[in-house]
Structure 1
Amino acid sequence: MDKVLLEKDGNIAVITINNPKALNALSTEVLQDLEAAVNDVKNDDDIYAVIVTGAGNKSFVAGADIAEMKDKTVEEAAEYGRFGNKVFREIETMNKPVIAAVNGFALGGGNELAMACDIRLAADTAVFGQPEVGLGITPGFGGTQRLARLVPTGIAKEILYTARNIKAPKALEIGLVNALYPAEELLDAAKKMAKGIAKNAPKAVAASKAAINKGLDGTMDEGINVEVEEFSNCFATEDQKYGMDCFLNKVKDKQFKNK
């Protein structure tokens, strides 16, 4: 993986898009390396939480690779869009929480990547946007779908139709990001959150993620049924017995086994 770095620290992993000369743009090579990194952490039972960020201090991901896209045919564009969406859905549906540490420009595919993550933390200097209509195209990696699910529909349409960028404080105001940090503190803040998540029962966290994702696709009643299923399945795990025993015996320093 030349264009994506993977670092593991205890029970957390940091995936870094490493294409700084192109502001970490999402070429096919970058997407292939990202998919490889995602599959690595997804299949590592010792990793309980994941961070995605960009190399350097200018850009998280500045977008897709325009030079690569420019001359694609309709069929080639569809293949490219399907592949990008496949990778982002793997992130979105991974059985581990994923935190985006947005350290700079998150434009086009960069904003789409951030939105595929569960939680978005951003540098207070970060910039977000979907500039595609100014290039004669629509978002192609889930932007029209995720943005309208994360922020009010009218705000999503304004961002998409105007192609104007929004700064970090506005992104926080509309609920696109969870919190802002000085750029030099961002990655440490993301690691602190990831480590805090990793202290909890991994299977319970994964079940919570699955319940939210599945529930958002259906009615409230369907979502409640999903929650009951995920809730009850937790009672087949060792971590449920251990966690409740720790609570009853006032044990604070818990060590879940992901079993």
Structure 2
Amino acid sequence: MSDVVLLDVRDRIALVTLNRPQKLNALNYELIDRLMALLDRIEVDAGVRAVILTGAGDRAFSAGADIPEFSASVRRGTETAVRDFVRRGQAMTSRLEAFRKPVIAAVNGIAFGGGCEITEAVHLAIASDKAMFAKPEIALGMPPTFGGTQRLPRLAGRKRALELLLTGEPFAPARALEIGLVNRVVPHDELLPAARDLAARIIRHSPLAIGGIITAVTRGLNMGIAEGLQIESEQFARMAPSHDLGEGLAAWIARRPPVYSGR
């Protein structure tokens, strides 16, 4: 079994670690494929309610794509590069974005290129005060290809995103917080505890409601308000006959803590 991505499950939280520290956790094809397989496993595991995604070592969350491997794909032609690199990376970030269990990035160091695009795609992100972000693809003579030209403008606004995309210059955690790329910046030693605390505050609620909110927000962002409201209504309709909604209402009326079953 590949160890380029590690999985540790405790207290209903899956800690997923990108594990190529000697390569600054660069996203080679093996790592992306392993991450996708673990997400498939986590999705159907009722014992896992949230995911924390981080990088091995103290230097990097992920420095981005594995450039030597990507370069080899480019040399084999456009069709190969699009199939092996672009589609694989976009499938990864789309999977993270649409995952119905909350995914929290714990950005422990460099988050360049694809590492920044993962941060853009996940639902929530906490950054170490030692983290550093960049959109350096422009220096390679190319645009971002894992969704960065689409998600960053939606988070930061068009002009702020274009400045980062067109200069490729690194930016600090404070800037990432200012533009909405991360939710919080914490001292480095407090990063994983802060991520676990956030996950714990989320998973005390109904997993059905959590999934419905993530789906409604993720899909609705790319639609007009009328279509978004329809998605919101559909997610409520899924909850209406559930045990969790009945339990939540009954607990509220009785002034007691709810006990959710995920059904």
Please classify the TM superposition score into its range, dividing by the shorter chain length. Answer: over 0.9
The superposition leaves residues 155-209 of structure 1 with CA deviations (integer Å, 9 ceiling, x where unpaired) of 1100000010101111111111110000110011001111111110000010011
Hey, which bits of structure 1, 4+ residues long, moved more than 6 A? Answer: none
| 1:137 corresponds to | 142
Contact 2:60-2:110 at 8 Å conserved across structures: yes
1:239 pairs with 2:244? yes
Cα distance in 1 between the residues matched to 2:94 and 2:113: 16
Cα distance in 2 between the residues matched to 1:232 and 1:141: 33
| 2:80 corresponds to | 76
Structure 1 residue 124 displacement after superposition: 1.2
User: Residue 75 of structure 1 aligns to which amino acid in structure 2?
Assistant: E
Structure 1 residue 232 displacement after superposition: 2.5
* Pairs aligned (count): 258
Contact 2:119-2:181 at 8 Å conserved across structures: no
Structure 1 residue 34 displacement after superposition: 0.8
Unmatched segments (≥5 aa) in structure 2: none
Cα distance in 2 between the residues matched to 1:14 and 1:60: 13
Structure 1 residue 115 displacement after superposition: 1.1
Unmatched segments (≥5 aa) in structure 1: none
Structure 1 residue 231 displacement after superposition: 1.6
Tell me the TM-score normalized by structure 1.
0.97
Give percent identity, aligned residues only: 39
Note the 1:119-158 alignment, pairs <5 A: 119-158=124-163
1:256 pairs with 2:260? yes
Over the residues paired in the alignment, what is the CA RMSD in angstroms? 1.0
| 1:60 corresponds to | 61
User: Residue 43 of structure 1 aligns to which amino acid in structure 2?
Assistant: V
SS of corresponding position for 1:68: helix
User: Residue 15 of structure 2 aligns to which amino acid in structure 1?
Assistant: V
1:90 pairs with 2:95? yes
Contact 1:199-1:255 at 8 Å conserved across structures: no
SS of corresponding position for 2:240: helix
Structure 1 residue 35 displacement after superposition: 0.8
The superposition leaves residues 199-245 of structure 1 with CA deviations (integer Å, 9 ceiling, x where unpaired) of 10000010011111111111111111111121232111101111111
| 2:173 corresponds to | 168
Cα distance in 2 between the residues matched to 1:152 and 1:220: 18
User: Residue 74 of structure 1 aligns to which amino acid in structure 2?
Assistant: T
| 2:18 corresponds to | 17
Tell me the TM-score normalized by structure 2.
0.96
User: Residue 175 of structure 2 aligns to which amino acid in structure 1?
Assistant: K
Structure 1 residue 46 displacement after superposition: 2.1
Contact 1:130-1:159 at 8 Å conserved across structures: yes
The superposition leaves residues 69-100 of structure 1 with CA deviations (integer Å, 9 ceiling, x where unpaired) of 12322122101110111122111111111111
Contact 2:8-2:15 at 8 Å conserved across structures: yes
Cα distance in 1 between the residues matched to 2:230 and 2:145: 32
